[in-house]
Structure 1
């Protein structure tokens, strides 16, 4: 081979590296071992261009990204406020805003499948996500060009993960959950716009040289960041104060056991009675008491964390005792918040061992602002002679989660929007005293339920 190499070098009048056509000869690679351009080498100009763009600064696009990150914070804060209010006036907090449509059920979405990531609520992740995007945007402005490229890269990674997770959550709403959260969709839109803004940043040339920014630009950007952050803080404060005052000004629902009962027993005329007398709401997995062959069905929607449900439970116990042989009573857990789901699933587990009432009363006895944890549920299981390990395992496996959420979705569609809610043969009950419930049951038995009865 060495002889061939020397012969090639000795060819008169010819470049040993080129053939007659002037193109690179295979001899170059065979004899001289010269390397061909690798994909990495071919991509180097693109990498260099990208690096320069990551080192540069575009004040207008960065301002848009910063503003969108603050808008995302406002969206998540409003979601947290409405979640704390159990979405009592719809997703947005005002019935006039259309949040009460049957298409939207923020409570079901924020308590349903995919509502947590690694055990942390999505609202917490969302607040951290938008806050971090804002912090990185300020850092892009503040740091030196070499570090700026790394900050840009971190923000690109964060936004890529954010839009992927938003797409997954949107799929869950459209698909498995079958209902939408307006504020969650708003967050997904903001994340999409943030990602689009980042793409625009990469596609455009820097308007400010990488190594320097004018003092005028620095002052303008600092003022922009400060004013936008201050405006967002004011809006968050107004949101908190407004809904806090709304809650304080709203009349508190009366306990169903109050002695000051209305002069008349009334049905809820604002809600249309169900044509099938509520039969479509009752399934074979429901928890029932009384006679399954009875012509009168009483359905109670409740949440074990609802204080008014706790009070009403004492009334319901007396009504069930009085009409056990002639009425079918159906208990429908209606989660107002995600913290109620483990307790509700524990109720279904207990019901299979005929321990529903014992479990419910023990949960009411431990009722508190934060709900009941697994440790409390295990303690209750021991008290009522259930196996704590079996109960905790079945609750953690979410055996009844889908059933509960689908049941809740169906209830919202027919008009259930708070707890406790009582239906008697498909009629929504307004007056829930023991005397009025007895009156309505007697009317249902005689086929005259509807209108007003003297109480």
Structure 2
């Protein structure tokens, strides 16, 4: 009881410097999350931070993989949204700590302590997923985890700070000074967020305007089926992407080629897989479908190699279906791959030996390298006759195929 009483007493005191630090760090967290959101909407075309293009041969830093891979959502909500709410809540609680009386302050301090502890624990878990499972790092996510840790450290500091640096009540001079500090920090954050949006064109306003203009020229029946006009089409109707090592289905003589870049650990790829299966069934005689396993992180490379091994035995579809069925936050282990091989009628030893010997590693890396060269940084990415697809519903995919068959899909290819 004595310890609890001591903690409550310290929570009742107000530490101007520490509270100012807490408020500033929480707004810095908001700015970091907003910047991450902007870069995600830009497709991380210039890397995680937006200031440097990532090495196309490196998997060390890959925000796209982290923000779309295992652990990217909690209860169906993006971690970016959770992060924004977390930092905003800390900022609001910090203002409340300043505003309320000492009786209420201890409860607000306790709430903030619990929130920060939970935030740090969850950030630690996400960092573990990045390093241990995905084997890639999102720099902005790591920065957010560091800010959360500093916030908790500052909160702990309120418990150990000397009483000489506190004010149990609130003098008029201190109140005015803190209000001014809060206002200045909020103004600075608004200016920085605005500058961030303007510098990076926010959501590519000029490109969005072009897309709106283009859509206005299309028939109203296809108004919701959009190509991705932010990326230039690939030359030769996408044929330059296809080689003899690729996994294909459908008609090799077709004039229409659908290419899918996917990662077996990507939840959105798992959803789109059902669309692809229906497309293959409906257009097996008049469309060539090309499957390009695209590793968002090194943890996907064993699974991708297993897909190539299965394709050699005519078991690609069975292997991919089983991998998607086992998809989870921790990825698929070699033991899982051996079990899948047994289930689909393959020799587990052959699969594991070929994967462990990295027989298809170069092929997987070349697919990733070429994909990044044409602007692919997330999955699933789908191209129809070299044109990047934005709307991937079954109805829209059928529309794009019909337009390609009529030679009426998009403009002139430039790559």
- Work out whether the TM-score is over 0.5: yes
SS in 2 for 1:104: coil
Q: Please give the secondary structure, in 2, of the residue aligned with 1:416.
A: helix
User: Does 2:29 align with 1:72?
Assistant: yes
Is 1:414–2:362 an aligned residue pair? no
Aligned residues: 295
Q: 2:274 aligns with which of 331, 341, 346?
A: 346
- Unaligned ranges ≥5, structure 2: 208-228, 290-320, 333-360, 377-384, 388-415
**Structural mapping, 1:282-301, within 5 Å:** 286-288=247-249
Alpha-carbon distance between aligned partners in 1 of 2:203 and 2:57, rounded to the nearest angstrom: 17
Aligned twin of 1:111: 68
Which residues of structure 1 form unaligned runs of 5+? Answer: 1-43, 262-266, 269-276, 292-315, 321-329, 362-392, 422-430, 434-455
Under a length normalisation based on structure 2, what TM-score does the superposition of the two structures give?
A: 0.59
Match in the other structure for 1:58: 15
Where in structure 2 are the equivalents of 1:346-385 lying within 5 Å?
A: 346-347=274-275, 349-350=277-278
In 2, Cα distance between equivalents of 1:217 and 1:408: 65
Structure 2 match to 1:47:
4
Contact map agreement 2:27 2:91 (CA 8 A) in 1: yes
Aligned to 1:94, what secondary structure does the other structure show? coil
Partner residue of 2:191?
Answer: 234
Whether contact under 8 Å (1:70, 1:130) holds in the other structure is yes
Give the C-alpha shift of residue 278 in structure 1.
7.6
How far apart are the structure 2 equivalents of 1:415 and 1:98? 12
Distance 1:140 1:420, change over 3 A: closer
Question: Take 1:357 and 1:65, find their aligned partners in 2: how far apart are those partners?
Answer: 63
8 Å Cα contact 1:106/1:180 also seen in 2? yes
Map 1:146-185 → 2, pairs under 5 A: 146-185=103-142
Note the C-alpha offset of 1:48.
2.1
CA contact (8 A) 1:91 1:181 kept: yes
How far the C-alpha of 1:317 sits from its partner, in A, is 5.0
User: Structure 2 CA distance, aligned partners of 1:408 and 1:244?
Assistant: 36
Q: In 2, distance between residues paired with 1:64 and 1:96?
A: 33
The one of 98, 114, 122 equivalent to 2:79 is 122
Aligned to 2:255: 318
Q: In structure 1, what is the equivalent of residue 226 of structure 2?
A: none
| Counterpart secondary structure, 1:91 | coil
CA 1:217 to 1:247, structure 2 compared with 1: closer, same or farther past 3 Å?
Answer: same
Larger Rg: 1
Q: CA deviation at 1:112?
A: 0.6
